[in-house]
Structure 1
């Protein structure tokens, strides 16, 4: 990876957070992880710099990734931050829904053998064309 990115990652699973953080940092990026959507939004409000990219898990208690995505895309400060939605599966209707909400990319969770490649692809997304990992 040529450029180091500042990444926020939201997921309530300790294993998922650790796996993502290890791989993304191995690729040369700085990662802040959050176990709750409210905590991530609070960090965004208090940060002096904005992350280059945000990864959101969809299935979360209290404030989930979809709700965080909605807040991000409605805000003036954060609406242009690229957002990757992370989930175990993306039925076509759900994928369409996330793209309509403003997600830039869909990525499957780390329970697959190509996880490092999936993260690398997500980090190089074309922001003008929403897409899903293969």
Structure 2
């Protein structure tokens, strides 16, 4: 099993938030969920203890995942934190964008076991990179 991580997960879909949180906690991680990108950015700014990894949904109202990623990568306090982009689809453009930024992608799955395996794979990949 991977070392326990603190994960921030941003998504405007409450069902997806709950599904992800349940799986990640079953895998032994601590998860803080957000539905508002501005609020997550504020918590990142003021909290002394930073997350080990941030999962960002691509399609968000107000600030989308790509915009939030750009803000994070410009902040000296948090730019070192690995970011994983999350999407219900896996278009080629998204894969190319993530590869160009050196970040991982995670496809939302509504099958518990499949999504759990995808999260485990991403977390293992991050473990080997750090």
Q: TM-score, normalised by structure 2?
A: 0.90
| Contact 2:2-2:123 at 8 Å conserved across structures | no
Deviation at 1:103, TM superposition (A): 4.9
Cα RMSD (Å): 1.7
User: Tell me, which stretches of 5 or more residues in structure 1 are unaligned?
Assistant: 130-134
Q: Secondary structure at the match of 1:124?
A: helix
More helix by share: 2
- Note if contact 1:83-1:103 (Cα within 8 Å) is conserved in structure 2: no
- Aligned-partner SS, 2:93: helix
Match of 2:76 in 1: 76
Partner of 1:56: 56
Corresponding pairs, count: 128
Q: Identify the range of structure 1 (117-126 vs 38-47) with the bigger mean alpha-carbon deviation.
A: 117-126
**Contact preservation (8 Å) 1:11, 1:36:** yes
Query: Structure 2 matches for 1:1-134, cutoff 5 A?
Result: 1-100=1-100, 102-112=101-111, 113-126=113-126
**SS of equivalent residue, structure 2 residue 125:** coil
Cα 1:66–1:127, aligned 2, differ >3 Å: closer, same or farther?
farther
TM-score by length of 1: 0.88
2:2 and 2:56 mapped to 1: Cα distance?
23
Shift of 1:88: 1.2
1:84, distance to aligned residue in structure 2 (A): 0.6
